[in-house]
Amino acid sequence: MHHIAALCLLSALSLQAQIQYIESRKIFLLTTSKNSYAMGLGQDGALRHLYWGAPIWRADDLAAAPARRDISSFDPRQMLEAEEFPGWGGPRYYEPALKLSREDGVRDLVLRYTSHSIQQNNLDIVLKDINDGVEVTLHYHIYPEHGILRRSATLRNGTSRALTVESAQSATWNLPPGEGYQLTYLTGRWAAETQLNHEPVHEGQKVIESRRGNTSHNFNPWFAIDAGDAAEEHGSVWFGALGWSGNWRIAVEQTPYRQVRVTGGMNSFDFSYPLKPGESLDTPPFYGGYSSGGFGAASRMLHRFTREQILPGGATSRVRPVLYNSWEATTFAVNEQGQKDLATKAAKLGIEMFVMDDGWFGARNNDRAGLGDWTVNPKKFPQGLKGLIDHVHSLKMDFGLWVEPEMVNANSNLYRAHPDWVINFPGRPRSELRTQMVLNLARSDVKEYIFDVLDKLATENDIRYFKWDMNRSFTEPGWPEVAATEQRKLWVQYVRNVYEIIDRLRAKHPNLEIESCSGGGARVDLGILQRVDEVWPSDNTDAFDRLRIQEGFSQAYPAKIMSAWVTDVPNMNTRSTPLAFRFLAAMQGALGIGSNLNKFSEQDSALATSMIGVYKRIRATVQTGELYRLASPRTNDVTVNQYVSGDGKQAVVFALRHAQQYNTAAPTIRLRGLDERAIYKLESINNKLVEHQQQFSGAYLMNAGINVNLRGDFDATALILERN
């Protein structure tokens, strides 16, 4: 009874006052439906972290920010305190959230509270240096239903002299004091992205980052930390994800004083950002959350949040169409007739969007020429794009086009006309990767040029979708046209200008959708996701490899944005998997086909048509439902994922067996997220169910479970459950 009363009060409070400030004790308490976050002001005016965890509702329970004492001359009190946004100054030797240098060489920065304002779900806290006008506004925004807190900071030079920012982080997240934490994070490389890692947090720092100019394949800006006892469906998990597509850094630090802090934002490596008097610098958003329901619940929180609050159009955006992409079928050998033939075949299978990939422009017959020359190749497309687009439309499909606007080949008209437009250090080599260089989008003239190119393409042609690719990282990151002291702003300005181009394009062409691709998954983060509809997670389309890539991807990102193609075998691993297995792997995201349809047998086409039909029945559940990871490809010989629709009426289970050994039956599948009392009608899309009937209660499905007959290697099924 007591418990119920507390819950009612909590929901009443969380509806009325999600952000509270208790004047008498100088405490801020931010509460969402899933967690609370608290800070307090010390006697000295320092802002200290107090709490991050399951929801609490009574601000009076919180002690005022505790004042500490020095333990020794080597262990000053500042090292023991959990400062909310520490400047680098005084006796602080851990990772700072902000570090700067003034014109006269003074680098000490000690921040104290000056004021705050609360407006609905927003809290701004203004801190100022103890001596001069360096001012930091900490921004907090809570998403009450989603359980997510967004943090960022604005640094303003309120002094009368120039200063240079050396490190500008978005947030420092303090975990409850303790030890034994475990860190979960994503690593990878080209064609092997989003691999899941789980390891103990030790004293010292663990850094995940990008120094490449883009988000990178190597690490993804997401983390989860648990107290050492969490699993997929239980336990406390603290997590965060950065919204920044340039150099970023997340440092997980355990101090000798049983503190664990996560500090993240723009990478301070090769970072230097001068601010004249009155100028300011905004740091990117760092989203954080806490879940008491394990890694699965943490993922589901991020999925829903991203779908509803980050993606363009939010909850109202359409489910992703089934697309065809020409890349693996034709590579650069595209032409009007060849693409028309593929389009005709694609339409028969039920494809809804036809995307022509690389090779349609300039002298682009291989990857050594043509990038930068965004005019249609007249030999390949004598009627311009119109002939192909009209054909695609006549087949009732939308048309999408591949572009790589940030790049140039040395062998291009653009580079011959503007060799100064690429990122470079004068007199130094211009490293070419995939024989291409990076245009300096930080420059306004280059930015405007790229905007005009894309705007013209979208204005002159009926293009529904750009696949926006970026196939290399930065090297020799010089910007010779500006003063040496300003050049490192490139890391930041480049990203801002990419964002600006996309934002302006979308505003001018409201129907245009965009896929973010960077040689696979090197540009997947919550910053780019505010402006694109899908991402390409990996150039590796081997369905077996994909299972692990997708598992890692799903920790942080929703299925709706995860473009997933069925392609031909043998693939890059020289592995062959059956077409049904490839479909069932790809149907767990935004389904696409990348096969050479000219080589499809009648049987292949029939299977593809039927799988695409099934996908259309279940895609809303996959793309916008709740994901339950029932069996991981890392630890089982079957990968099992379940998706439950928002209204609970439909659930879909994918079970993909990698290899059978010792004639062992596939394990029993125990479902989750169903209504115990409800009856569900069960259907296996390819008759793999080993059961005596096809109707079961939710309780039975979740507790006793069901069995599927998966035999041999790469056997797979999907089960569709409809609630009666």
Cα→Cα distances 431→271, 475, 656, Å: 21, 7, 43
Closer CB to ligand DGJ, 537 or 552, in the complex: 537
- Are 368 and 409 a contacting pair, CB within 8 Å? yes
Q: Which of 129, 226, 373, 469 is catalytic?
A: 469
What CA–CA distance (Å, rounded) separates 667 from 692?
Answer: 17
User: Among candidates 500, 560, 555, 491, which has minimal Cα distance to 527?
Assistant: 500
Treating both helix axes as pointing N-terminal to C-terminal, what angle do 294-305 and 543-556 enclose, rounded to 10 degrees? 80
Question: Could you say whether residue 354 binds ligand DGJ (CB under 6 A)?
Answer: no
- Are 287 and 243 a contacting pair, CB within 8 Å? yes
What CA–CA distance (Å, rounded) separates 665 from 413?
Answer: 61
User: Among candidates 655, 658, 657, which has minimal Cα distance to 643?
Assistant: 655
**How many C-beta atoms surround the C-beta of residue 711 within 10 A?**
11
What CA–CA distance (Å, rounded) separates 115 from 117?
Answer: 7
Closer CB to ligand DGJ, 366 or 375, in the complex: 366
Does the CA dihedral 309-181-537-516 come out positive or negative? positive
Among 520, 592, 633, 673, binds ligand DGJ (CB under 6 A): 520
Q: Which of 525, 533, 539, 545 is catalytic?
A: 539
Closer CB to ligand DGJ, 355 or 505, in the complex: 355
Beta bridge partners of 224: 184, 239
Closer CB to ligand DGJ, 517 or 608, in the complex: 517
What is the DSSP annotation of 569-609?
SS-TTS----HHHHHHHHTTSEEEE-S-GGG--HHHHHHHH
Closer CB to ligand DGJ, 140 or 361, in the complex: 361
In the complex, the smallest distance separating the C-beta of residue 517 from ligand DGJ, rounded to whole angstroms, is 5
**How many C-beta atoms surround the C-beta of residue 207 within 10 A?**
15
At 711, which helix (H) or strand (E)? Answer: none
What CA–CA distance (Å, rounded) separates 491 from 163?
Answer: 18
**Subset of 69-128 contacting ligand DGJ (CB under 6 A):** none
Closer CB to ligand DGJ, 254 or 541, in the complex: 541
Question: Does the active-site annotation cover 61?
Answer: no
SS3 for 541?
coil
Question: Could you say whether residue 536 binds ligand DGJ (CB under 6 A)?
Answer: yes
Q: Which residue has the tokens 């420092």?
A: 172
At 4, which helix (H) or strand (E)? Answer: helix 2-16
Question: Could you say whether residue 517 binds ligand DGJ (CB under 6 A)?
Answer: yes
Question: Does the active-site annotation cover 229?
Answer: no
- Are 403 and 468 a contacting pair, CB within 8 Å? yes
**Subset of 304-333 contacting ligand DGJ (CB under 6 A):** 327
Window contacting ligand DGJ (CB under 6 A); options: 23-31, 227-235, 516-524, 623-631? 516-524
SS3 for 293?
strand
- Are 428 and 480 a contacting pair, CB within 8 Å? no
What CA–CA distance (Å, rounded) separates 68 from 62?
Answer: 16
- Are 540 and 217 a contacting pair, CB within 8 Å? no
DSSP-derived secondary structure letter, 677 = T
SS3 for 458?
helix
Among 400, 519, 625, 698, binds ligand DGJ (CB under 6 A): 519
In the complex, the smallest distance separating the C-beta of residue 359 from ligand DGJ, rounded to whole angstroms, is 8
In the complex, the smallest distance separating the C-beta of residue 367 from ligand DGJ, rounded to whole angstroms, is 6
Q: Report angle CA 76, 77, 78 to the nearest 5 degrees.
A: 90
Closer CB to ligand DGJ, 223 or 536, in the complex: 536
Among 352, 357, 525, 545, binds ligand DGJ (CB under 6 A): 357
Window contacting ligand DGJ (CB under 6 A); options: 42-50, 55-63, 284-292, 515-523? 515-523
Structure tokens of 555?
Answer: 């920790």
Closer CB to ligand DGJ, 251 or 535, in the complex: 535
Our measurement of the distance from residue 62's CA atom to the centroid of its chain's CA atoms, rounded to an integer in Å, reads 34
What is the DSSP annotation of 138-153?
EEEEEETTTTEEEEEE
Question: Could you say whether residue 539 binds ligand DGJ (CB under 6 A)?
Answer: yes
What CA–CA distance (Å, rounded) separates 158 from 278?
Answer: 5
- Are 259 and 272 a contacting pair, CB within 8 Å? no
Question: Could you say whether residue 358 binds ligand DGJ (CB under 6 A)?
Answer: yes
Closer CB to ligand DGJ, 294 or 592, in the complex: 592
Closer CB to ligand DGJ, 491 or 565, in the complex: 565
Beta bridge partners of 592: 323, 565
User: Among candidates 708, 706, 663, 671, which has minimal Cα distance to 687?
Assistant: 708
233: left (phi over 0), alpha (psi -120 to 50) or beta: alpha
Closer CB to ligand DGJ, 389 or 517, in the complex: 517
Q: Give the β-pairing of 513-516 and 534-535.
A: parallel
Window contacting ligand DGJ (CB under 6 A); options: 38-46, 84-92, 186-194, 513-521? 513-521
Structure tokens of 429?
Answer: 């080599």
**Subset of 462-491 contacting ligand DGJ (CB under 6 A):** 469, 471
Question: Could you say whether residue 402 binds ligand DGJ (CB under 6 A)?
Answer: yes
Closer CB to ligand DGJ, 81 or 469, in the complex: 469
Question: Could you say whether residue 287 binds ligand DGJ (CB under 6 A)?
Answer: no
Count of residues that interact with ligand DGJ, criterion CB under 6 A: 11
What residues contact 17, with CB distance under 8 A and at least 6 apart? Answer: none
Chain contacts with ligand DGJ (rule: CB under 6 A): 327, 357-358, 402, 469, 471, 517, 519-520, 536, 539
* Residues noted as catalytic: 469, 539
